Structure 1
Amino acid sequence: MLSYVLRRLAIAIPTLLLVSILVFSLLKFLPGDPAIALAGEERDPAVIEYLRQKYSLDQPLYVQYGKWLAGIVQGDFGLSIRTRLPIGEMIAQKLPVTIQLSVMAMILATLIGIPAGIIAALKRGTAADYGVSIIGLAGLSVPSFWLGIMLILLFAVTLGWFPSGGYVAFIDSPLDNLRHTLLPSLVLGTAAAAIVMRHTRSAMLQVLKQDYVRTARAKGLKERIVVVRHVLRNSLVPVVTMSTLHLGELLSGAVLTEQVFGIPGFGKMIVDGVFSRDYAVVQAVVLCSAALFLLMNLLADIAYVILSPRLRG
């Protein structure tokens, strides 16, 4: 197992380095000059030149990249041009918010998707199967921003059960934290639940055809025992790995949902950075998102090996 993890890390580290090069290089081609944007409306040439020297904007790209990467290795992401705050502190404040939303979304997706997939597989070709499949297709097709707006209109404006936006830290008020995060988590979890359902159904249909399932039934075991011990257990292998990967996607892709609900998470942080041309913030957020996705990919590989011992070695 250790050798397998080390091999995966040997692949992940160069991948992350390549991502850092791409992120740093592509952002330099965006229109606009951060020094001019930071200089204010007066745009004094002396101030602009000072800012370029201060943030190394007057040096070659490879020098800028080297300094930026050296700082990241030491845990220093630099200062935000817009807020003058250390980017590492901003990430430490914003990232837990997005992690909470993503984890809650995957929990909801698992609680909804796996039972729905089981029903669809066991009732293949029936009205229940078609109904679950149609609902799953709808969950994949509905835009997240539209669903978020509809949930706000229904549960916040009309019924008044939940707040329309904002965020309260869990340590300040656990109940208010849940009330502010449940709707956005449901929005994020809707498409994830549809994906989990479809993978669960597909995996169970494949396992149901296996010889050991027919043997278990021939021995006279109850259908519930056959489904839980033999079918579901073996079907969860691809579902668990897929869910881990999708969690990585949620961590790096909750931009629209956080904007709709006004949640100060990772997604809102990168949007604010783009609009204010705060390239250092954008670079840090994208790089952290890539690192989180690679981490989830590594965890998915490890989970797959744990659940499938035949792959060890």
Structure 2
Amino acid sequence: MELLCAEEPVRVPRADPDPHLLRDRRVLQNLLVQEDRCSPRTTYFQCVQQEIKPSMRRTLAVWILEVCEEEKCEKEVFSLAMNYLDRYLSSVPTRKCHLQLLGAVCMLLASKMKETSPLIVKNISIYTDYTIWPHELRDWEVIVLGKLKWDLAAVVPHDFLEHIIQYLLLPTHESELVKKHAESFIILCTVDFTFSIYPPSMIATGSVGAAVQGLGIFTNSKSGETLAELLAGVTGTEVELLIACQEKIEVALAENLRRVSQSQQQVLASKAAGCHLDHKLPLTKTPTDVTKVML
């Protein structure tokens, strides 16, 4: 008799993008019209929040990203969760001891919007090292929904990627490569609150531009347009603003790589000194810096 352990949730394959919708310009136009409807206030740290600082948001964003990656969530879940978080913080003064609870609830709501099998409340509680209990997540879920007026269909940068990339007329393998790199840039922008001044369409366009330029696979179009001019025309963005956004993404990437390099050097130095410490934090524990934020 064979015993089958089926504790892991079954992931339902996601359908591929519909090429007819991608080629219909009206879909892109509707996204551009709707993207400002659910945009958070970019000044809420100065006008609304007294205890919470941008550095705390960044720490929380990294934790949410780690959980999403561990749970193999769709790429949009992280961006959507951060949209909910920023919109809530834009209108509700929040104590820093509630910040991780708020982030966990936003992640849960985003998974319900984008996943065929949403995150399990009990598992989220485990990721917080049981500093947050399932009943707290359920109670706060209703609170957050009320503050967001139950409007969860926000437009995020990932929604624009397929629409933008198709205008580059790249081979399939190069399009997939550009998309993969652009998704990484979008995550980088989502973690960094300074990018909140840009609408989702510009972040997506700038990420595609940075990916294409970094990979060195783009040639000028037949009409003689540059890459920036072509991308700006797709989403109706000013070329100068798009270039500024793309350059900011490239600077953020360089800074992130520098941080990673420093972290790796510290690990090597510790090992060389005989310190056999595990610097990779288990995701079933609450990160130390998140714990500090909650105190």
TM-score by length of 2: 0.28
Choose between structure 1 and 2 for higher RCO, CA contacts under 8 A separated by at least 6 residues: 1
Kindly indicate which of the two structures has a greater share of residues assigned to helix: 1
TM-score by length of 1: 0.26
Which structure has the larger Rg?
A: 1
